Amino acid sequence: MLPFLLVGANLNFFCMAVPILGLLILLQFSWISASDSAFIISKVCGTEEVAYLENLDGHQILINKNRIENSTLVCEKLKFYFEVGCFSCDPKFGVWREVGKSYCARYSDFFLHEEKIVNSVDVHAKKARKLLRELQESASNNDCTNKNSDSLANMQSDDASSETDDLPLAVPGFLLLSVGFLFPCFRPRRKENSPPSVRPNQLLNSVDSLSSIDVSSSSEKLPPATPHRVPPSPSRFAMSPQLNRAGSVQLTINQIIKATHNFSDSFKLGEGGFGTVYRAALPDGRVVAVKRAKKEIFQGPRDEFNNEVELLAKIDHRSLVRLLGYIDKGNERILITEYVPNGTLREHLDGQLGKILDFNQRLEIAIEIAHALTYLHLYAEKTIIHRDVKSSNILLTESYRAKVSDFGFAKSGPSDTEKTHISTKVKGTAGYLDPEYLRTYQLTPKSDVFSFGILLLEILSGRRPVELKRNPDERITVRWAFKKFNEGNLPEILDPLLEERVDNELLSRLLNVAFQCAAPTRDDRPTMKEVGEKLWEIRKQYGKSLRRISG
Ligand X SMILES: Nc1ncnc2c1ncn2[C@@H]1O[C@H](COP(=O)(O)OP(=O)(O)OP(=O)(O)O)[C@@H](O)[C@H]1O
**Sequence-separated (6 or more) residues with CB below 8 Å from residue 444:** 385, 413, 420, 421, 422, 437, 522
What is the nearest approach in angstroms of ligand X to the Cβ of residue 290?
Answer: 9
Report how far residue 319's alpha carbon sits from residue 452's, in angstroms, rounded to the nearest whole number.
Answer: 15
Backbone angles phi, psi at 37, to 5 degrees: -100, -15
Cβ neighbours around 127 below 10 Å, total: 21
Q: Where are the alpha helices (DSSP H) in 43-195?
A: 71-83, 93-103, 108-112, 114-120, 123-139, 145-161, 173-180
388, 406, 434, 448: the catalytic one is 388
C-alpha 203/C-alpha 186 separation (Å) is: 6
Nearer residue to ligand X within complex by CB, 114 or 304: 304
Which C-beta is closer to ligand X: that of 408 or that of 462?
408
| 295 among annotated binding-site residues | yes
Q: State which residue, 45 or 289, has the beta carbon closest to ligand X.
A: 289
Query: Smallest gap, in angstroms, from Cβ of residue 164 to ligand X?
Result: 12
Closest distance to ligand X from the beta carbon of 278 (Å) = 9
Cα–Cα dist 516/528, whole Å: 11
Residue ranges in contact with ligand X by CB under 6 A: 211-212, 269-274, 277, 289, 291, 321, 337-340, 344, 388, 392-393, 395, 405-406
Identify whether 523 is a catalytic site residue.
no
Q: What DSSP state is assigned to residue 140?
A: -
| Residues 51/87, Cβ–Cβ less than 8 Å | no
Distance of CA 30 to the CA centre of its chain: 27
Q: Kind and range of the H or E element at 213?
A: strand 212-215
354 versus 551: smaller Cβ distance to ligand X: 354
Amino acid at the residue 531: V
Sheet strands (E) in 30-82:
30-34, 38-45, 48-55, 58-63, 66-67
29: phi then psi, degrees, rounded to nearest 5: -70, 130
Convert 283-313 into a string of H (helix), E (strand) and C (coil). CCCCEEEEEEECHHHHHCCCHHHHHHHHHHH
CB-wise, 175 or 396, nearer to ligand X? 396
Report how many helices (DSSP H) and strands (DSSP E) the chain contains, helices first. Answer: 21, 18
Provide the 8-state DSSP code for 404.
E
Please enumerate in sequence order all residues whose Cβ is within 8 A of that of 86, keeping only pairs 6 or more positions apart, or say none. 43, 45, 46, 174
* Residue 291 or 484 with smaller CB distance to ligand X: 291
Q: Which is nearer to ligand X, 203 or 321 (CB)?
A: 321
Binding-site residues from annotation for ATP: 295
Active site residues per annotation: 388
